[in-house]
Structure 1
Amino acid sequence: MQKCDTSILKKKGKSFLVFLRVDADLRWMRAGSVMRKVKSRTWKKQRYFRLQDDCATIWYKSEKAGNAHFSISDVETVREGHQSEVLLSIADEFPPDRCFTLVFRGRRGNLDLVAESAEEAQSWVRGMRKLIENLESMGEQEKLDQWICDWFKKADKNGDGRMNFKEVQDLLKMMNMDMNEHHSGTLEDDEFVLFYKLLTERPEVRRLFQQHSSDGHTLSLWDLEVFLREGQLEQENLREHAAELVLCYEPSDTAKTRQAMTIDGFLMYLGSPEGSVFNPSRKQLYQDMRQPLCHYFICSSHNTYLMENQLRGHSSVEGYIRALSRGCRCVEVDCWDGPNGEPIVYHGYTLTSKILFKDVVSVMGQYAFKASQYPVILSMENHCSVEQQRVLAHHLTCILGDKLLQNALEGRSVSGGLPSPEDLKGKILLKGKKIGGLGASVSAVGEDSPVGDVSEEDERLEMEEENHHDDTLRRKAKELSDCVVYCKSVRFSSFKHARIHSKFYEISSFTEFKLRSFKLRDMHPSTKHIHTLFLCCCWTGADFVHHNSRQLTRIYPSGFRTDSSNFNPQEMWSVGCQIVALNFQTAGVEMDLNDGLFGQNGRCGYVLKPLFMRSAEKQFDPEHPQMLDRSGPLTLTIQVISGQQLPKVNQKEGSIVDPLVRVELHGVPLDQAKLETHHIENNGFNPIWDETLKFTVHVPELALVRFVVEDYDKTSKNDFVGQFTLPFSCIQQGKETYNHAASKQNKTKTENIISLLDICTV
């Protein structure tokens, strides 16, 4: 049977692949290495690892495990030395220069490896980093070519580099495309090239291109200027911007000479960060970082040490590494007395595994400021005896050194308010109980008042303290108390009490449910029964917004969430709560919203709250946003055009997704809304919806827009395919941005259009 070579797929990026194949490190990797795969101190197995000729896949083999592989694109980063819990456990057996860790994207476990020599380890570390850098620098067309090439290799069953028609048919099913059964025969050379072009054709982009092209073949500078003004809603320096786009994205030198853009250049521009729905300027650090800490939303983690659920899950320092690497700026540590005088960290009264407190502190010292230089808050839940509290303080001060903030900043009055993230760059702040106030002198061992940070597992201890059943439980080590400066944990009594008595450096913590009970207690007795049902679903109010304009508040999941699920953080942000702690190990809409909010401002972990939530004079009530002094709500118009290369969610043979797009608006209660498109049958490769969805947005500063792709199923719940979430304020004009247009009429609405060409690629 006549077959056709697939080399047509390798034209893009070919010169770089040639470089990779002659590189010394890549040659070593392609030759292969026998290395130890390490899962624990007792599980160390030899495996043969080799880089495939495509320079995009690592293949490995063992007699028992058989053949396996993973894609370079799945690897997020490479760590050298003993930078994982597993490799630390065998540090006495293997030197750090022979050890390295591959960290995968998502929730896949790390791969810990030990090479036979330091030279071999370094070749793999350098080679992996070069491959990762190459993938990250690829253009959209190169990524598409590579993606198709990867699938071709999976479909080429006999590995001869050629494909017959049956293999092509199987390939399309694997790529989420259907193919008519009546077609038969073989693919000759010319047919195969045509087939490849059909796969990469974007008819919806071509229609858009031809709508703006004067000659039907290229976009002149004038054509591109019109598109930028009418399609992208840009206004300034359009001619200069059009010329820059041609120079940057047009692959044809001939077209560049004519100052024109071809369809290929147009597609590269639309797929670039500049054409993204997320405004590139908002991905940079763009906010004022000199406001008090309480004026920011702070990316925060709950039970950071847990990798799984809070009943039987595995505790690991990896939880801290992953959270800090994602820009998290507040992590939690639950400390208990451990053997040999060393405090341990685990979820008390459960079957979760235990790790050493000193290992957690060591990881904090290494990773706290790799993703962001702004301060990290270490939220401590302390269950230790006085003796081991001193050990806690010793590890904090000795391991962290100058990184640990132990004194109020010079030149700042104890009544002057919280310092800013800029003031506290490179500092770790301990949040916990403190004897006395800021700068107070206390005895060697003090008795704290019955005021403290309360959690479900700590309530029994608090009750015993209050009833004086065991005075030793009230004893606090001065050494640990002195480590607490600007985050003194106190029990919240009421908003009225806080307005009169609270200090700026005090912070209260609430479970998601207890906050509702405190809100009820602040209400007039005659109105409590009226609002009880309402508060079960929405407990926000102006009092809490005002409280959070002056002080920090931490919210964390209820202890009843034994599966480590999360609550919706949006309702907490809507009343100005800064530290909304979530279980980072649990995927879902809640973490999608968290990642969406903190994806802006350089992913530094701090997002400045809107002015109306920072000012003590403003009385913003998220339940009544119409009270804000503004012209009226906005209308957000979203045009969902198409998707590309959606992943399969059902691995059954022949299964193809039927994708639909749901757009969700998350914000204040009036801004909660969902709309979705129709579903496309049997096409996850290049579905086209071309539908328009409209939303009304009352408080855009607090709104998040979430795009979800699902596999439609008429008999059961739809399967999740992928999602993308971003702040409303980070949407570009024409593609993303919102605009408060000046209007003479109070109810005039501003319409904005998002054209999604690649809505979701997972």
Structure 2
Amino acid sequence: KHFHLKSISFYPTSDEEMVMWVKGLTWLVSDTLRSPTPLQIERWLRKQFYAVDRSREDRISCKDLKSMLCQVNYRVPNMRFLREKLPDGELRNGDVSYSHFAQLYRSLMFDAQKSVSHTFICVLIERPEQKISLEDFQNFLIEHQKELWATDNNKVQEFMLHYLKDPLREIEQPYFHQDEFLTYLFSKENTIWDVQLDQVRPEDMNNPLSHYWISSSHNTYLTGDQFSSESSLEAYARCLRMGCRCIELDCWDGPDGMPVIYHGHTLTTKIKFNDVLSTIKEHAFVTSDYPIILSIEDHCSIVQQRNMATYFKKVFGEMLLTKAVDISADGLPSPNQLKRKILIKHKKLAEGSAYEEVSSSTPYSENDISNSIKNGILYLEDPINHEWYPHFFVLTSNKIYYSEETSSNQGNEDEEEHREPESLISLPKPVFTCVRCFVCSVLIWFTETTRSLKVTVCLCSPLRWKGDYGGKKQLWFPANYVEEISPTAAEPDRSQATENSPLGDLLRGSVDVSSCQIVVRPEGKGSRQFVFSLVPVASPRTGPVLDIAASSQEELKDWVMKIREVTMTSEAKLEEGKMMERRKKIALELSDLVIYCRPVPFDEDKIGTERACFRDMSSFPETKAEKYVNRIKGKKFLQYNRLQLSRIYPRGQRLDSSNYDPLPMWLCGSQLVALNFQTADKPMQMNQALFMLNGRSGYVLQPSIMRDDTFDPFDRHSLRGVEPITVCIEVLGARHLPKHGRGIVCPLIEIEVCGAEYDNAKQRTDSEADNGLNPTWPRKPFRFTVCNPSFAFLRFVVYEIDMFNDQNFLAQATFPISCLKTGYRSVPLKNSYSEDLELASLLVHMDIVRGRVSALGYHGREGSFEARYQSPLEDFRVSQETLLDHESRRLRRARVSADNRA
């Protein structure tokens, strides 16, 4: 799963020609998106057919047809199967025309899935001609789909005519054939999503900013990992076009008096500050008119800060907010009051102060790679084959950390992997150099001990176990050569070590350089010429000698010099240096641009008092935020967020740009929950789902219950006035599922409710063998009781089960549960980046019942482990715990009485 943005560049010869191209392409994109499903299917069929019929003779062989069906995820058992489906004339010729191919497709889809709609088609059709009339379709929309607009006969007629888009059937009484009706059920026109929510609700945009969830990005400029990926202007454009309203600028001193933006002290590339501002201006309000917050991570000198302030004013002009909207207000302004405005989030000078000193409550952190003294690629020798492999090294004030094996030429590898065939005209070019995705689920960790072998196994074979050895990962070894590592013994040490290192889960080992001697090897070692060693000072027996190779003499000298500086520096000087870094001078010109988003240290004692100022806000790494978004302090943190803004960002050890779970932060009212937009993972998919609301404006008004002082985010009993719901879902079928590899997929569907911890639950269907084009599942209801529906998401994930019984991700769809329609509905599927997959969809039947289902009448969720701990049985569990506690106290009193008698 690599992050790729591709572009094609045009060079028109005149302004008029450029305008024509832009208008034409814009119309083409818009028309394609608006086209009804039958036209999209027609386009897809022709694309598949003519990909084989390159000569445009309108004929393909039966052999090519069989191969094509395999390519679209459908297994053809044998040629006899095709003979039964095709007309005799086609078989005698040995070729298949496009018209017969299209008819074959419709026949395959209908024959495989006609049972899906059989139950209600029989009710709808009372005449022998087997057509679904306008009246039949209208009854279906009203009775099964509960569509209020369908009571108007003219609207139903207009809908059918637009959907069919057939000039020959533009009649007063349009109708569907059965296969057309079945296609409609799977179509985007029958989506489970309530399309009315695609529009912004202006009446919901008058609350203070602190009452909204605001779409926020972390290290917006990056296109991959946090230490070696490309920084790009297109990353800013993409985020803004996705509706993101809070973006980050990491500013460092650059040439010519102007800052550059990159992840400091890493191998990430640099982009110009003024280019970033121009990109922001161009794309700021294309998707949404509501305010943008620029989160400035400032590492610049006073001179360059002044230049930053000048460029903010010059580029943004009237867009830049330079004064308070209402000086007498006692809260933040609303999104409506700040329409098309850009706000600066940056430290602000205190009145009469020339500089701002960062409080000790925001400590200097060596765990952040941007605070490292030096980092880069060095080489370690494999003890087995004596080959040298690249690793990422990070030097801090007392230790040197190194990662698992990485790649020194990762860009070239990816370019080769994704290289387009030379026979094609290669117009689209990747904007970004492809970056390698580092696997976080590291199964083995080497410490600085003399132990040479640790392996992790899965007990899946009595003869061979899977394990790691040296540089070889997850291979099968004889069972008597594999040692099982106890999770209880190994995991705590591993977790603590990774938590305290700047490399996080990528950590392989570390060395305390203050207790080591640096020995340069002029003769080199093995195939490497530039080698130095870290030798323990006390005794070599206390730890192994670590031989490290550099790629050049200059690099070796630089590393040795930096390490020696660290070993010679006293603790007092280190502390003094940290204190100097805490003292941050701020240019007055830049400080004056900070109106509302003024970062200050978080002070829990100010919450709910007169000292709390709505202009102040605090930022938290996820690890610190977790101390507040819990049962103990969650209610207090929610109280803070009702008045002030808070920003949560990923911990520094997430070098692979993975994301944390945003749900607890959202539930406790945090507005700016910043995620890595370039990463295709579940947290980012949840983020995309939340900000589908309110017309994808980037602002979603938090539920009113969150502004109730009695509400506790982790106590369902505090949901006053919130009615629980029971959701019943049946998965009926799917169409056009994507492939995974070359084989035909065996899909299963996982259905998950995500939200407050008392609502979380997950269930799944069985897998369907060898069919990704038109699989079906037997009707089986999955029931979920949701206590807090205003903060719950319904998530569908399609997995493929391979020959080793492993599940592989194929597609997903995630929605806020309160915004879904009931009845027989299509679930349009998306890829891991939440981009639409062509024609891919599920067909489900969904029913939502208001109120709680009784425990005695509650069925269909026995297969879910989480379900046993979810309402409605939670009341019984609480009562049982109370009874046990009472019984325990009674027994203690009985023992005390017995002791007294003795």
> Do they fold alike, i.e. is TM over 0.5?
yes
Offset at residue 572 of structure 1 (A): 1.1
**What is the alpha-carbon distance in structure 2 between the residues aligned to residue 599 and residue 751 of structure 1?**
32
Offset of 1:146 from its aligned partner? Answer: 1.4
- The residue number in structure 2 matching 1:238 is 151
Work out which of the residue numbers 584, 588, 593 in structure 2 matches 1:483. Answer: 593
In the TM superposition, residue 724 of structure 1 has moved relative to its aligned partner by: 1.1
Q: Which residue of 1 aligns with 2:806?
A: 717
Contact persistence 1:342–1:357 (CA under 8 A) = yes
Partner of 1:675: 763
Give 1:172's aligned residue.
69
With the length of structure 2 as denominator, give the TM-score of the two structures. 0.63
Q: Alignment partner for residue 625 of structure 2, among 515, 519, 533?
A: 515
Aligned residue number for residue 658 of structure 2:
565
Q: Residues 271-282 of structure 1: matches in 2 within 5 Å?
A: 273-282=188-197
Q: Which has the higher contact order (CA 8 A, sep 6+)?
A: 2
CA distance in 1, matches of 2:802, 2:652: 34
1:140 paired to 2:37: yes
Superposed CA deviations along residues 166-212 of structure 1, whole A, max 9, x for unmatched, are 01110110111011225265356696564243145352565243332
Q: CA deviation at 1:569?
A: 1.0
Counterpart selection for 1:309 from 205, 215, 225 = 225
8 Å CA contact retained: 1:450, 1:466: no
Which of 200, 205, 210 is the aligned partner of 2:122?
Answer: 210
Q: 2:237 aligns with which of 321, 332, 339?
A: 321
Cα distance change, pair 515–264 in 1 and its aligned pair in 2 (3 A) = same
Provide the residue aligned with 2:737 in structure 1: 646
Q: 2:106 aligns with which of 154, 176, 197?
A: 197
Q: Deviations over 1:663-691 (max 9, x none)?
A: 11110001111111111111111111244
Cα separation, 1, equivalents of 2:752 and 2:126: 38
**In 2, distance between residues paired with 1:390 and 1:442?**
18
The Cα offsets for residues 6-50 of structure 1, whole Å up to 9 and x where unpaired, read as xxxxxxxxxxxxxxxxxxxxxxxxxxxxxxxxxxxxxxxxxxxxx
Distance 1:497 1:142, change over 3 A: closer
Give the match's secondary structure for 1:257. coil
Contact 1:643-1:688 within 8 A present in 2 as well = yes
Q: Matched residues in 1 for 2:100 and 2:692: separation?
A: 44
Task: Tell me which residue corresponds to 1:505.
Answer: 615
Opposite residue 598 of structure 1, the aligned amino acid is F
Amino acid in the other structure paired with 2:308 = L
Please tell me whether the aligned partners of residues 790 and 817 of structure 2 are also in contact (alpha carbons under 8 angstroms): yes
Residue matched to 1:574: 667
SS of 1:361's partner is helix
The one-letter code of the counterpart of 2:197 is R
* Structure 2 residue matching 1:484: 3-state secondary structure: coil
Read off the aligned partner of 1:508 and give its amino acid letter: S
* Residue of structure 2 in register with 1:54 after alignment: none
Alignment partner, residue 457 of structure 2: none
The equivalent of 1:110 in structure 2 is 6
CA distance in 1, matches of 2:34, 2:581: 62
Which one-letter code corresponds to 1:430 in the other structure? I
The DSSP-based 3-state class of the residue aligned with 1:429 is strand
User: Which residue does the alignment assign to 2:381?
Assistant: none
**How many residue pairs align between the two structures?**
617
- What is the CA–CA distance in structure 1 between the aligned matches of 2:307 and 2:574, rounded to whole Å? 24
Q: Please say if residues 37 and 188 of structure 2, whose CA atoms lie closer than 8 Å, have aligned partners that are also in contact.
A: no
Choose which of 238, 255, 259 in structure 2 pairs with 1:339.
Answer: 255
Q: Is contact 2:364-2:578 (8 Å) kept?
A: no
3-state SS of 1:543 partner:
helix
Shift of 1:719: 1.7
> Shift in Å at residue 154 of structure 1?
2.5
For the 8 Å contact 1:306–1:313, the answer to whether it is kept is yes
Identify the range of structure 1 (171-180 vs 541-550) with the bigger mean alpha-carbon deviation.
Answer: 541-550
Instruction: For 1:316-395, list aligned pairs within 5 A.
Output: 316-395=232-311
Q: Which amino acid aligns with 1:697?
A: V
Query: 1:160 & 1:405 partners in 2: Cα distance?
Result: 63
Alpha-carbon separation, structure 2, partners of 1:468 and 1:173:
62
Query: Displacement of 1:733 after TM fit?
Result: 3.4
- Comparing 330-339 with 494-503, greater Cα deviation is found at 494-503
Match of 1:688 in 2: 776
Instruction: Write out per-residue CA displacement over residues 715-761 of structure 1, whole angstroms, 9 at most, x where no aligned residue.
Output: 25322111111111110133579867479x99999999xxxxxxxxx
Q: Is the counterpart of residue 435 in structure 1 residue 349 in structure 2?
A: yes
Which deviates more, 548-557 or 726-735?
A: 726-735
Moved more, 166-175 or 633-642: 633-642
What SS does structure 2 have at the residue aligned with 1:334?
strand
Q: Report Cα offsets for 1:43-96 as digits up to 9, x if no partner.
A: xxxxxxxxxxxxxxxxxxxxxxxxxxxxxxxxxxxxxxxxxxxxxxxxxxxxxx
CA deviation after TM superposition for structure 1 residue 296, in Å? 0.5
In 2 relative to 1, CA 590–634 (structure 1 residues): closer, same or farther, beyond 3 Å?
same
- Give matches, 1:510-549, under 5 Å: 510-517=620-627, 541-549=634-642
Shift in Å, 1:446: 3.5
SS of residue paired to 2:814: strand
For the residue of structure 1 that corresponds to 2:355, the secondary structure is strand
| Long gaps (5+) in structure 2 | 84-90, 374-572, 826-845, 861-902
Corresponding letter in the other structure for 2:267: L
- Quote how far apart the aligned CAs of 1:467 are: 8.8
Query: Cα distance, 1:714 vs. partner?
Result: 5.0
Residue type at the aligned position of 1:238: T
Is 1:416–2:330 an aligned residue pair? yes
1:513 counterpart SS class: helix
Structure 1 pair 247–157 and aligned structure 2 pair: CA distance change class (3 A): closer
Q: Following the alignment from structure 2 to structure 1, what is the Cα–Cα distance between the partners of residues 639 and 59?
A: 68
Letter in 2 for 1:490: V
**2:620 matched to 1:708?**
no
Q: 1:565 to 1:746 in 2, by over 3 A?
A: same
* Structure number, greater radius of gyration: 2
Identity %: 36
Distance 1:353 1:193 in 2: 50
Q: CA RMSD in A?
A: 3.4
Shift of 1:127: 4.6
Alignment match, 1:98: none
Q: Secondary structure at the match of 2:9?
A: strand
Single out whichever of 296-305 and 237-246 deviates more from structure 2. Answer: 237-246
Residue in 2 that maps onto 1:528: none
Asked if 1:450 corresponds to 2:450, the answer is no
- In the aligned structure 2, how far is the partner of 1:244 from the partner of 1:619? 49
Please report how far the alpha carbon of residue 570 of structure 1 lies from its aligned counterpart in structure 2 after TM superposition: 1.3
Structure 1 position 501, deviation (Å): 2.2
CA contact (8 A) 2:628 2:637 kept: no
